[in-house]
Structure 1
Amino acid sequence: MQAESKKINKGLLLTILIFGCFLSTLNQTLLNVALSSLMDVFDVTATTVQWISTGFMLVNGILIPVTAYLMKRFTTRQLFLSAMLFLLIGSITCAAAPSFSVLLIGRMIQAAGAGIIMPLLMSVVLAIFPVEKRGSAMGLLGLAMIFAPAIGPTLSGFIVEYHSWRWLFIGLIPLVLMVIVLAFKYLVNVSETSKSKLDVVSVLLSTIGFGLILYGFSSAGSKGWSDAVVILTLAAGASVTALFCIRQIKSDDPLLNLAVFKNKVFTLTSLINVLITMMMYADMILLPIYLQKGRGFTPFDAGLLLLPGALVNAFMSPVTGKLYDRFGAKPLFIIGLLFIIPAMWAVTDLSQSTTYTYLMIRTIGLRIGLSFITMPLNTAGLNALPRQLGTHGTAVNNTVRQIAGAIGTAVVITIYTVQATSHAATVMHSNPSTTPELLKSLASMLGASDAYYFMMILAAAAFVITLFMPAKSKMMPEKKAAGSSKEGAPL
């Protein structure tokens, strides 16, 4: 693999993959600002419309465990082109969607493509870059991956306000076609394939388990936490997921190799990953809903507010990648969380007098914190693993992130919905003459404040876990493992 990697034009290969990843990530976050408008267009509630995001992440989360198998069975070209075709078909379906159900189906087809791209990109980096240069390489990936969410909300807000929401998808179609043409012409393979057998039972168990858990969390918003359907769904989902985990541990050729969790650093980074992802995705959806439903801002205003922070996040990513290579993960995580915790606390008391500038500065602070954590988190966890577990580490990492993002979004929107309903009842009881518009605004603000209290607790928990991370000198077993295990499976 080392000899082969020298012949590869790394710049051209990464450019094509990053362009595809950029479109996939842009597509994932493009609708966050548009959710409030889609609630009105299709006459659905916040709990229903959030499935546009959670459904996307769920399909991602279900598909990602299969990518470890797919990357053994198919070449880089085959997987990348398949992913882009899914993105193209899904975009066409969404653009023509006559109803919310068809829109949701289109989003899930898009998600099938997105679920392949991210693990594929990370595995290519592991394959063609030595361990001491991966922080910088991941930082460049982060620039592309974070730049997409940076421009997504503003672009989305502009399109929704001045054009039809359908242009969010129509605009993607020519760009995806361009990537497909470039990939056909220039993309080369960096992986070696083998005739692996797919464990269909494991795929079914992971799909049913994760699906039931997410459905339970999402349904709590409309049915309540004490509802029998919610409790039974969550219990059944947890049981099936436990069976999936037991099967993976006992299998000689697991779909998702859970042996990666025997590594302390990987386990700690995975726990931090869960908490950070829950906060990041939930904030990207909750803040635009608060701005539009609670304060009456336009979708474009809401998107514009998120832009400076996201741009800072994107351009700091290569810098924090280099800092990671020099100082290791622990100091970066601590610095990042010292930005994130105050940023969450700053929005636990939202009101009509909370200014647009205040929210923008707070969001910049949050994004600075996230830039110290997101890409170094992935790099630290994967670098700690021996080479033969690289693809499984990537698959587990991405599965954890997508499931955490989906559950985090569902939980936070559920808290927001339940608390907003409760506050509306309290306001009406104390002041029955409150107008419907003011009632809706007050309930939205108070519900969002309560949801941010929950997110601040998640940030504090992540800080505590970070304190158990070892220093840089104790986090580099990969070099030893790479030298002693020449028989490791190629990525």
Structure 2
Amino acid sequence: MALKHKTRNIGLTVMLTGTFISSLSISLLSSALPSIMREFSVSATIGQWLSTVYILVLGIVTATSAFLINRFNSKHLFVSGMLLFLAGCTISIFAPNFTVLILSRVIQACGAGILMPVTQVVILKTYPVSQHGKAMGIIGLVIGVAPAVGPTLSGLIVDMSGWKSIFYLLAAISVIVVILSVILLTGIDGKRGGSIEMTSLVLYGIGFCSLMIGVTNRERYGWTSLSTLGPLAAGIVCLYLFAVRQFRVPLPLLQLRILKDRGFAVSSILIMITYISMMSGTMRVPIYIQSVRGLSALTSGTLLLPGSALLVVFNPITGYLYDRFGARLISIFGMIFLGAGSGAFALAGIETPLLIITAMYAMRMVGIAFLLMPLSAYGLRNLNGEQMAHGNAIVNSLRQMAGALGSSILVAFMGAASATEAVTDIHGINVSFAIEAGLVMLGLLITLIFIRNERQIA
């Protein structure tokens, strides 16, 4: 076990705190973007890369986590990840221009890409299999909740003391976590040597970056432009070559053969659908409240707060329910709630009462709480030690990439359906949420067909 029984709770709290702030950083700049754009004189398309590049690098580094976890001591990895994240925050504070600020986000994401999977593997190895639902519920408080509360928290911080105060706060917490980690954590030693499969890593990184560039270019050049289709085609080809290579090399970057386990494959697909809904919702609902309804950022954050709070409350509850009843029933319940919340936004108007909007968003968050971590526990339940590291790497990486790409695509549909792409209107909001609701209904169908009503085996 990574942590002795007497210090387990304290040690896990330290690891979860570090992972929480790195996850929080995914969406923490959403309300700060206007201020940053004005200070560095960049457009919205360029400014958005502060979040996009973070998610991209996070997904790429997460893909290497299986190799890192199987080779190095988990304590050393965690401390190294925290130091990288701290370095990135420090550079952000003193960034003289936008290019350096982007670089600082890359460094932060490199640290976060190590922290998330290491913490997840340590917790799963600390708890017995019969309590993996509880363990994943705890992890869900970090990985699932942090990006959801980011916009609300950042709005409050930016209004009070400016965007740099975000990085002062993250840096201060990072210093405390590093000190406590050195003192309290013991760690699991990696058991394998070898080297990382660099060709696979390059193909993986270029593939996802190209897809993101293609989706981003659509806003400026349209879907039929070579500037859009070229990167999209390059991304698809690179990811195809990456997938083929994982079955041919002796030590793959990601053991994609794990996807032959039906439970793992199905849960991975459903987690991607869930994360697309969650990440895109944190972007589009504030746009609806602020741009379409003309309300303030503070009002937007206040309306989203109850949903974020329910996500916090229900994550440990759904972990207990998974341990007690299995994945099928709670996954069905989660998909129904998420689909109903998305469908409600597809029917919302500019006069819909704000209390109803809050309830609709809260319904979505409850559905996500019933899906994200229980599905992760379900998918990983049959994997052994080394496979668990690869399984975590696959799920975490795919989740981040799906969230980034899916959000961009849904935002693109939102803009295309609006009267003018420069100004989002209610029709664009309705169309994008209708598409999302259809995607969630597909997830419900997959759940009904493939998720079996089984209980965890101790």
Note the residue ranges of structure 1 that are not aligned, 5 or more in a row. 426-438, 480-491
Contact 1:416 1:448 (8 Å CA) reproduced:
yes
User: Within 5 A, what are the aligned runs for 1:274-353?
Assistant: 274-353=272-351
Distance 1:413 1:141 in 2: 28
Q: Verify: 1:416 aligned to 2:414, yes or no.
A: yes
Q: Which residue of 2 aligns with 1:447?
A: 428
Q: Which residue of 2 aligns with 1:12?
A: 10
Contact 1:279 1:455 (8 Å CA) reproduced:
yes
Distance 2:44 2:339 in 1: 26
Q: Verify: 1:469 aligned to 2:443, yes or no.
A: no
Distance 1:146 1:274 in 2: 13
TM superposition shift of 1:324: 0.1
Structure 1: which amino acid aligns with 2:307? Answer: G
User: Within 5 A, what are the aligned runs for 1:62-461?
Assistant: 62-149=60-147, 151-420=149-418, 423-424=419-420, 440=423, 443-461=424-442
Cα deviation, 1:68-88, whole Å, max 9, x if unaligned, reads 111122211211111111211
Q: Verify: 1:34 aligned to 2:32, yes or no.
A: yes
Distance 2:32 2:287 in 1: 9
Once superposed, which parts of structure 1, at least 4 consecutive aligned residues long, lie more than 4 Å away?
A: 4-8, 36-46
Distance 1:130 1:472 in 2: 21
Contact 2:327 2:455 (8 Å CA) reproduced:
no
Distance 2:121 2:374 in 1: 16
Q: 1:205 to 1:401 in 2, by over 3 A?
A: same
Contact 1:384 1:475 (8 Å CA) reproduced:
no
TM superposition shift of 1:53: 2.1
Contact 1:265 1:475 (8 Å CA) reproduced:
no
TM superposition shift of 1:145: 3.6
TM superposition shift of 1:467: 1.1
Contact 1:33 1:288 (8 Å CA) reproduced:
no
TM superposition shift of 1:372: 0.6
Structure 1: which amino acid aligns with 2:439? Answer: L
TM superposition shift of 1:41: 4.8
Distance 2:96 2:431 in 1: 35
Q: 1:234 to 1:47 in 2, by over 3 A?
A: same
TM superposition shift of 1:216: 1.1
TM superposition shift of 1:220: 1.3
Q: Which residue of 2 aligns with 1:435?
A: none
The secondary structure found in structure 2 opposite 1:9 is helix
TM superposition shift of 1:252: 1.5
TM superposition shift of 1:37: 4.7
The secondary structure found in structure 2 opposite 1:28 is coil
Distance 2:43 2:416 in 1: 12
Distance 1:470 1:354 in 2: 36
The secondary structure found in structure 2 opposite 1:250 is coil
Q: Verify: 1:58 aligned to 2:39, yes or no.
A: no
Distance 1:202 1:277 in 2: 25
Structure 2: which amino acid aligns with 1:340? Answer: L
Q: 1:367 to 1:403 in 2, by over 3 A?
A: same
Contact 1:135 1:321 (8 Å CA) reproduced:
yes
Q: 1:328 to 1:281 in 2, by over 3 A?
A: same
RMSD of aligned alpha carbons: 2.1
Contact 1:154 1:303 (8 Å CA) reproduced:
yes
Cα deviation, 1:152-188, whole Å, max 9, x if unaligned, reads 3222112222331121112211111110111111111
TM superposition shift of 1:149: 3.9
Contact 1:142 1:375 (8 Å CA) reproduced:
yes
Structure 2: which amino acid aligns with 1:248? Answer: Q
Q: 1:339 to 1:36 in 2, by over 3 A?
A: farther
Structure 1: which amino acid aligns with 2:282? Answer: M
Q: 1:341 to 1:359 in 2, by over 3 A?
A: same
Structure 2: which amino acid aligns with 1:120? Answer: V
TM superposition shift of 1:465: 1.0
Contact 2:272 2:399 (8 Å CA) reproduced:
yes
TM-score (norm 1): 0.88
Distance 2:198 2:28 in 1: 33
Contact 1:202 1:255 (8 Å CA) reproduced:
yes
TM superposition shift of 1:18: 0.5
Contact 1:90 1:110 (8 Å CA) reproduced:
yes
Contact 2:254 2:394 (8 Å CA) reproduced:
yes
The secondary structure found in structure 2 opposite 1:346 is helix
Note the residue ranges of structure 2 that are not aligned, 5 or more in a row. none
Contact 2:3 2:186 (8 Å CA) reproduced:
no
Q: 1:273 to 1:453 in 2, by over 3 A?
A: same
Structure 2: which amino acid aligns with 1:459? Answer: V
Q: 1:111 to 1:134 in 2, by over 3 A?
A: same
Distance 1:31 1:101 in 2: 16
TM superposition shift of 1:350: 4.1
**Rg: which structure is higher?**
1
The secondary structure found in structure 1 opposite 2:247 is helix
TM-score (norm 2): 0.94
TM superposition shift of 1:399: 1.0
TM superposition shift of 1:100: 3.4
